[in-house]
Amino acid sequence: HMVEEGAAIIDVGGESTRPGATPVPVAEELRRVIPVIEALHAALPVPVSIDTRRPEVMQAAVAAGAGLINDVSALQAPGALELAARLGVPVCLMHMQGTPQSMQQQPEYADVVTEVTDFLLARADLCIQRGINRDQILLDPGFGFGKTAAHNLQLLQQLQHLVASGFPVLAGLSRKSLIGQTLGLAVDKRLYAGIALAVLAVWKGAAIVRCHDVRETREAIQMCRVVRDAG
């Protein structure tokens, strides 16, 4: 269904990384994601992405057909970097302050744009040193992961700084609490505001947006791209 609506990548995760979420045992995470990845990989013409922080899950997921590792902890788990280099699939490195349990308690930055950019570029450099190809690396500023609404707004407004690094940038803003806090909308009422944020992210140079409402978001960002690249 999502692919029919224009999704280019399907992201599968077995551990909630919402604020306050409790960690899941690795065996349970594997039980949740591996059969799904196997089924999707067999049935779909688009790559499947594994959203995980754990090397064991990365390895099993790629063996099951996952074509992208999407890690909210930017391959910081012991052994994750080396494994990703061996697996040879693209990796998306995300910035998060703290852990999902703690990240929204009191996020603080001297300068959120500089700190997020510096962290991601340092992680990307380390990946390249460890044998991951430069063109296999994507960066995600981690909207909502250890950031207040003000931090998120600043990151989006200045997303071109991260884009200027030359790595493709992924932005995930769909249904985030930033919309709830700004407009006072329940999670199921955030479609239009989420589309606006996706369009702004693409206008600022994002290469990929992660969303829940595929057709609506795709039409909006396609139109945005056409205007951005006109002439």
Is residue 215 annotated as a catalytic residue, yes or no? no
Q: What is the mean predicted confidence (pLDDT) over 128-135?
A: 98
Is residue 147 annotated as a catalytic residue, yes or no? no
Mean per-residue pLDDT over the chain, rounded? 97
pLDDT in tens, 95-125: 999 999 999 999 999 999 999 999 999 999 9
Q: Which of 178, 180, 219 is nearest to 199 (CA)?
A: 219
pLDDT category of residue 92 using cuts at 50, 70 and 90: very high
Q: Which one of the listed residues 176, 190, 204, 218 is annotated catalytic?
A: 176
Task: Please name the amino acid found at residue 158.
Answer: Q
Instruction: Mention every residue, 6+ apart, whose C-beta is less than 8 A from residue 76.
Output: 53, 123
pLDDT at 203 (0 to 100): 97
pLDDT at 175 (0 to 100): 96
pLDDT category of residue 57 using cuts at 50, 70 and 90: very high
Q: Which of 192, 59, 63, 84 is nearest to 138 (CA)?
A: 84
Report yes or no: 65 and 44 within 8 Å, Cβ to Cβ.
no
pLDDT in tens, 181-230: 999 999 999 999 999 999 999 999 999 999 999 999 999 999 999 999 99
pLDDT at 76 (0 to 100): 98
Report yes or no: 15 and 21 within 8 Å, Cβ to Cβ.
yes
